[in-house]
Structures are given as structure tokens and as C-alpha cells.
Structure 1
Amino acid sequence: MSQNNWSDRFTTFAVGIGVGALLALLFAPSSGEDTREYITGTVKQGLDGAAATGKRWTRRAQETVDDVKARVAGAVEAGEKAYRTARDA
């Protein structure tokens, strides 16, 4: 039931955004060409920002993976050393 409620709310929200965008374009004080250039520029900025964010997240994820790998390798080495010590004792 809550999934359906969330879906209905999201659909209403998305339709509201679409209607608002359409009305903004219809009543815009700029010409169609200016509006298209503005939209194109805004979309490019958004895509560039998303690409930069994606690269930043990828770099941070790789750093985290490298850190975890180093920790696991250290733990494995310590475990092997402890095993050899216990076995030889």
C-alpha cells in the first residue's frame, strides 16, 4: 500500500513539474531561440556537473576499495603469521 502511495505522489510531482515547465516556456519573456539556448546551456551545465560528480564518486570509491584491500591484506598476513607461530609452537 505504501509503495502505491509513493508511486502516486511521485507521478503527481512529475506531472506538476512538467506542467510548470510548459507554462514557464509559454509565458517566458524571451524569444524561442533565446529560450532554447538557455535550456541547452543549462542542460550542458547539468551534464558537466553530473559527470564531475560521477568522476569524484568513482575516485572516492576506488580510494575506499584500495583502503579496504590494504586492510584485508594486512589482516590476512597477520592471520597467516599467527597460524605459523601457533603451528610451530
Structure 2
Amino acid sequence: MLKKHFQQEDILADFKILFTFLDILIIDKKVIMACIDSEFSDFEDGLQNFAAERDGLISTIIIRNIKDYKKSKLSVLTPEMFLKIL
């Protein structure tokens, strides 16, 4: 999708910059099964939640739609709430 608008070299360079401050969490069988067995109504939200929980270093999820995270063990904040705390 990005290749329609940008050169591949620029895309890869931007990804390198992005990954200097972001990590990608692992979504494996255990995360998927935790999501399936959970009360999360939105599957993708469940995947994000359980991948973050499994990572062990994440204590907060920042997301616009916090109502889908009522069953999360993590702290859940909207971007606005996070900025007020920051």
C-alpha cells in the first residue's frame, strides 16, 4: 500500500526510525487462545490486550475506545487522559 505513494528506500528508512522507539509484540497461539477464551467482544482489541499482558513490561494501553477494555488487567487510558497525566 505504501509503495503506491512512496519509494521503497524511504519506506524502509522510516520503519527503521519508527522502530527506534516502538516494539512489535508477539501474537502467538497462547495470545490467540487467551483472546478466544476471554470476554472481549472485539477480537482485535483482545489480541492487543493479551499480547500486552503477556509482554510483562506494559502496564497501560492508550486507545480511543476504552469501553472494550473493561475486563483488561492493564490500565486503559484515552490519548486525552494520558496527555493530562503526562
Same fold (TM over 0.5): no
Give TM-score scaled by structure 1 length: 0.26
TM-score for both structures, normalised by structure 2: 0.26
With CA pairs under 8 Å and 6+ residues apart, which has the higher RCO, 1 or 2? 2
More helix by share: 1
Larger Rg: 1
